[in-house]
Structure 1
Amino acid sequence: MAMDYCGRFGKALLIGINILFFLLGVGLLVAGIVANVNVIADEVLPPLNKVELAGNDLGNFFYLIPELITFNNETKEVLLKSLQENYIDESLSSTNDISNAWNYAFLKFNCCGVNRVQGTTNDFDLTPWCTTSGECQQTNAQIPRTCCVGVTESNYKSQAPADCYASVSKDYNTQGCYDRFQQLVQSSSAPVIGVAITVMVIELLGFVFAIVLCKQTGSESMAV
């Protein structure tokens, strides 16, 4: 009798847990969407889809929570390669989509380059913008105007101060985009991690509860 009751209870418990996990799964999905929406601008994602990282398009990579949490040297190297091979101009509408995407990233996330900018020697030195053609190659600029503090898409060309882009002495974003992206991802993944931990705790409690209840039911049957 006890085993029969335990079996029925166990089946009901499993059904209940499956329903609960389904609901929590929906919650996890929603949390992931909410956490990541607007983290990367629409203008930045499409061009980044042309760059691969660990077998994934870099644009889609920003939605892969497990991999994003583990930023590493490979991530930085891929970003640096993307910048140094593709950055051709500080414009938002050049012939290179990836170059445009970097400029959008600088404006939206208040970062500059991949590594921290500390002066006129920086990540842009090996880009086509500095080695082939562009204001950097012409020695009129050391970093893009899009890296300057307080500028927007509509005014960066006219409002960026020379102390920022020409001499790199002040009014520029010092933080590299690698560190900035890492901060954004780690902060936005917190809701997802919280839901995952909740799921694990509920699963453990359900398992323990089923064992205890079955043992108690068996003991009461033996006593009768």
Structure 2
Amino acid sequence: MCCCTETISKIIVIGTNIIFLIIGIALIIPGILMLTDIDLLSENIKPLLEQISFNGVNLGNISGNLPIVFIFFGVAILFIATLGLIGACCKIKTLLVIYAIIVIILTVAEVVILVFFFVLRSHLDSTIKNEFASQLTSKYTQDLLDKSDTVSSSFNYMFMEAECCGVNAVTSTTNDFDNSPWRSGAGSGKKIPKGCCKGVTEATYTTYSNPACTDTATSGTYWPSGCYDVIMSTFGTILNSMGYICLVAVLIQICIIVFTFLLCCSYMTSVV
């Protein structure tokens, strides 16, 4: 009976830690991709993200630190899983006990994070959307890439780099820019800024002219997606994925804790 318990526990501990290794890699890869290949992390757009906060934390800090958090937790999980695999395969009871304690601490931390995540996630969308709209209607003043006006230039860079326009999708000449200082000032007579137009680049921005896009917002000449949807398709998907990965990890860790202690009991006579 003891031998059977040991065998089953060992198989489960090794199997779950292999899954744990996969989860670690699943966190590291998007972290690396976010550091190297996400337009919304562009230095040209960060000044705008830093103006938008959620529960006292600005989006610029989140966007800058999220990839590092992914990589850190991914590496930590790889280390912990390796610790468990060595302890189980080599029958090292002391290592298994240390491993189980670390997993317990990690599980408690993840449960707290999950509760916090699911409580706040439902409020995240509307809060960020309202913040973006507020920045556009109160601080968007010019259709230039002049970085002395950080909010306006950040919006224009975001329109170009993220291939979007406004906060909400632009579907007609009536849009988010109507109530902005730009429309009542330098953009009088315009419908959307040049950054929204297809084909404009940083190099051609100053001389770019396409009245069909900027003056009449003709369909097909500009990016129809709202920047809020583009942002949330990036950050929202990532946050949701992280939440579900964390939930799966907690369930796996509970299983690991139970069978690790069963395995330790079966190794009572092992040399450590």
Relative to the length of structure 1, the TM-score reads 0.71
Instruction: List gaps (5 residues or longer) in structure 1.
Output: 218-224
Contact persistence 1:69–1:186 (CA under 8 A): no
Instruction: Select 1:81's aligned residue among 111, 121, 134.
Output: 134
Name the CA distance, whole Å, in 2 between partners of 1:126 and 1:191: 36
Taking only the aligned residue pairs, the percentage that are identical comes to 27
Name the CA distance, whole Å, in 1 between partners of 2:206 and 2:222: 14
Instruction: List gaps (5 residues or longer) in structure 2.
Output: 71-116, 267-272
Name the CA distance, whole Å, in 1 between partners of 2:238 and 2:207: 34
Summarize the alignment of residues 161-172 of structure 1 with structure 2, pairs less than 5 Å apart.
161-170=210-219, 171-172=221-222
CA shift for structure 1 position 153: 1.0
Amino acid at match of 2:149: N
Deviations 1:29-51 (A, max 9, x none): 74463243242211111343234
| 1:36 matched residue in structure 2 | 34
Deviations 1:178-209 (A, max 9, x none): 00101111344577457535633541332342
Amino acid at match of 1:165: T
User: SS of the counterpart of 1:143?
Assistant: coil
| 1:156 matched residue in structure 2 | 205
Name the CA distance, whole Å, in 2 between partners of 1:35 and 1:189: 15
Q: Cα RMSD over matched residues? A: 3.6
| 2:125 matched residue in structure 1 | 72
Name the CA distance, whole Å, in 2 between partners of 1:201 and 1:103: 44
Greater helix content? 2
Count how many residue pairs are aligned between Structure 1 and Structure 2.
198
CA shift for structure 1 position 58: 2.7
Name the CA distance, whole Å, in 2 between partners of 1:147 and 1:128: 17
Name the CA distance, whole Å, in 2 between partners of 1:190 and 1:206: 24
Name the CA distance, whole Å, in 2 between partners of 1:51 and 1:188: 18
Cα separation, partners in 2 of 1:48 and 1:187, compared to 1, 3 Å: closer
Contact persistence 2:166–2:176 (CA under 8 A): yes
Cα separation, partners in 2 of 1:93 and 1:183, compared to 1, 3 Å: same
Cα separation, partners in 2 of 1:103 and 1:206, compared to 1, 3 Å: same
Whether 1:185 aligns to 2:238 is: no
Cα separation, partners in 2 of 1:58 and 1:168, compared to 1, 3 Å: same
| 2:154 matched residue in structure 1 | 101
Whether 1:90 aligns to 2:140 is: no
Contact persistence 1:124–1:130 (CA under 8 A): yes
User: SS of the counterpart of 2:207?
Assistant: helix
| 1:110 matched residue in structure 2 | 163
User: SS of the counterpart of 1:100?
Assistant: helix
